[in-house]
Structure 1
Amino acid sequence: MIRRYGDTPETGQRYRLRAGVYAILPRDGALLVTWQGEPHDELQLPGGGIDPHENPLRALHREVFEETGWSIARPRRLGAFRRFTWMPEYKRHAEKLCHVYVAHPVRRLAAPTEPNHTALWVDPGVALDVLANDGDAAFLRAWLSRV
């Protein structure tokens, strides 16, 4: 069974399954994260949805680049969690199946191309305190306990 984080699903509400990939990106004692502005205004692990017919690793590389402008190497899957949420940008409720990886940020190639996203380097302890998603924080906490 995959652990659930966040809000309990609303009874009678239909949720569309949305698989996604997210990355813990450590380098030189800091973590590369993304600040997503409107409509969320929150700190997140970089990542997002897997498009139809897209390989999860390809989606991970694409999403990290779109949200941070960085290329990554050596992704390794840590596990998955799920959460039920309202996605205002898509105007729908979703059951997000979140696959979490750890990867090495290699090089900044460009500014983020995803609207309202800003790439930030933060201390891992700060990230634990301010990540908007409890599932992201749980995976980061578990990964930090092993390094």
Structure 2
Amino acid sequence: MIRRFGETPEPGRTYIRRVGAYALLPRGDALLLTCQTDPDPDLQLPGGGIDPGESPITALHREVYEETGWLIAAPRRVGTFRRFTYMPEYDLWAEKICLIYSARPVRRLGPPTEPAHTALWMAADAAVEALGNAGDRHFAARHLRRLRDR
């Protein structure tokens, strides 16, 4: 069973399952995040949908680059969650299955190529409070606990 965060699915509403790969990208005590400004500002773990025929790791590399401009290395799966939400950019209600990875940001090639995205570094403790969805906050908090336990 996959842990659910956020809203309870509405009875009678049809949700389209969307699987995506997302990354915790630590450097020291900070995380590399993306802020999607359209339709509304939303701070997120970089990542997104897995295209048909694409592997989760390939999607992770592509999405992180598109949303941050960074190349990553050594992705390692750390968990999964799901959430039910409306996705205005696709005009659909989705059951998002979020595959969460930890990876090392290795090199910034330039600004994000995805429109309406800005990459930013944020202290992990601030990210735990600022991320826009409860699943992202949960995995950022878990990362922060590991940092403090070292």
TM range (shorter): over 0.9
Q: Which runs of 5+ in 2 are unaligned?
A: none
Deviates more, 1:62-71 or 1:33-42: 33-42
Q: Which runs of 5+ in 1 are unaligned?
A: none
Does residue 52 of the first structure (1) align with residue 83 of the second (2)?
Answer: no
Separation in 2, partners of 1:36, 1:28: 24
Residues 24-43 of structure 1: pairs in structure 2 closer than 5 A: 24-43=24-43
Deviation track 1:79-99 (CA, whole Å, cap 9, x = no partner) reads 100000000000000000000
Kindly, what percent of the aligned residue pairs are identical?
61
Q: CA deviation at 1:142?
A: 1.4
State the 4+ residue runs in structure 1 displaced beyond 2 angstroms: none
Does residue 88 of the first structure (1) align with residue 85 of the second (2)?
Answer: no
Separation in 2, partners of 1:40, 1:86: 13
Q: Which amino acid is 2:75 matched to?
A: P
Deviation track 1:54-73 (CA, whole Å, cap 9, x = no partner) reads 00000000000000000000
- Measured on the aligned residues, the alpha-carbon RMSD in Å equals 0.7
Query: Match of 2:135?
Result: 135
Query: Match of 2:108?
Result: 108
Q: Which amino acid is 1:49 matched to?
A: G
Please give the secondary structure, in 2, of the residue aligned with 1:39.
coil
Deviates more, 1:136-145 or 1:74-83: 136-145
Matched residues, number:
147
